[in-house]
Homo-oligomer: A and B are copies of this chain.
Amino acid sequence: MNAALPHPLSPEAAPRPVPPAMLAALRQRFGARLSTAVAVREQHGRGESFYAALPPEAVVYCESTEEVAAAVALAGAHAVPVIPFGVGSSLEGHLLAVQGGLSLDLGRMNRVVQVHAEDLTATVQAGVTREQLNREIRDLGLFFPIDPGADASLGGMAATRASGTNAVRYGTMRENVLGLEVVTAGGEVVRTGTRARKSSAGYDLTRLFVGSEGTLGVMTEITLKLYPLPEAVSAATCHFPSIAAAVQTTIAIIQMGVPIARCELLDAHAIRAVNRHSKLSLREAPMLLMEFHGSPAGVREQAQTVQAIAREQGGEDFDWASTPEARSRLWTARHQAYFAALQTRPGCRCQATDTCVPISRLAQSIDESIAEAEASGIPYWIVGHVGDGNFHLSYLFDPDDAAEVAAVERLNLQMVQRALRLEGTCSGEHGIGLHKMGYLQEEAGPGAIEMMRGIKRALDPLNIMNPGKIFAL
């Protein structure tokens, strides 16, 4: 907790207190599943962002869609904010109760409602995490590929339009949510989409809710696309003489249409942290961590093509992770890079940038960002879903050093402005939350923001759904 990180509060940000009558009604309905304990509220008012917590006034643990609807209806009757909560892994301040109100914890709504193996679909409650889903469907020979690193809830992943390491082949939550059950701001239960793979039936409400960060309603059930577990999976690391060489390799892979499943960049700083944290001995030089999915022959063919491309850029021979255990160790290490990096500078916070650019602009985008980071003297590390043009240059800064805080904000803004000049976006996968509201204004422009505002007002006229996020009303 510190005061050095201001919350970019929007003009309408005056807190809207939970009136005693509402609290009493919640207590009557939810009993011990209503909590106003400080620790619980703090936990629900922060996420993994670098902001100090802004706790909600109360937390309700919902166990069914009906309970969510009842809580939202009550909040609506008192014009009190409602903030849906999954596992709390969001990164941009999505969960901060900037206007007070109620946190709806959906973690107990963790039932896989239906799996239709023959249709490659599953319907889950919003609190199911991606690892839980994958455990429950593995014996059916199926998997759900979207993997943002954290074992996030699928509701949270839908809310931020998450993607991660597998998106280069399988798409993001945008492409993999078929339908939703949502509780509207009016407390109504509405279904969007069907289990059909495609549809031209009316406005795409599903895709409107995906990425809406809890500002339009609460997603309670999510129908997802599943995939057959690939017959063959191979992972390999490949080291390069420079980040530029690794990036050029990635660009060529994508341009040739190789259906690579994962293509992750780690810089030397990230590898150093990962080695220390996960007791690995990877060479501390720019590296691509790749995975290939397909038939045994198909995987071999992909790997040969990629190896040839890598060699042209001075890449070393592949180091294969041939067993599932070796593969899992590598990916676990990759996913723990965030926590590993935090440990390299005690007391620091991490600000992860999240720009995404067209693949041909990636080299310029990374090069210039590194030059600025080096010039700043602030420790940083890079990992990237480079196959998508998305990378995270993360600063490890001292939250009590006002100059450093300001420098990091300035550096992030420069990166965003560069990404926009390169026809990219300020956020590849983390969302806008509180932190990127200003960036979104630059990216979308006043006309598009006005459309978003219009939609928000239409679906949430009292502005109770996670107010003060994405844009100011």
Taking Cβ atoms with an 8 Å cutoff, the residues of A that contact B are: 116, 118-121, 160-163, 167, 171-172, 174-175, 184, 188-192, 194-205, 207-208, 210-212, 227-228, 230, 251, 254-257, 259, 295, 297-298, 301, 354, 356-361, 388-390, 419-420, 423-432, 436, 439-440, 443-445, 447-449, 451-452, 454-455, 457-459, 470-471
Contacts and interface: CB of A to CB of B under 8 A. Distances in A.
A452 B425 CA distance: 27
Contacts of A163: 198, 200
Contact of A194 (B119, B172, B423, B430): B423
Contacts of A425: 194, 196, 198-201
Q: State how many copies of this chain the complex holds.
A: 2
Contacts of A358: 116, 119, 121, 195-197
Given A199-B427, A201-B436, A184 B451 contact: yes
Contact of A202 (B121, B195, B201, B470): B470
B190 A445 contact: yes
11 contacts: A118-B360, A192-B444, A198-B388, A202-B440, A202-B443, A203-B470, A204-B207, A204-B210, A228-B256, A228-B257, A297-B298
B356 A199 contact: yes
A172 B201 contact: no
Contacts of A295: 301
B196 A357 contact: yes
A358 B388 CA distance: 29
A427 to B, nearest CB: 4
Given A297-B297, A425-B201, A174 B459 contact: no
B359 A432 contact: no
Nearest to A257: B228
Nearest to A361: B119
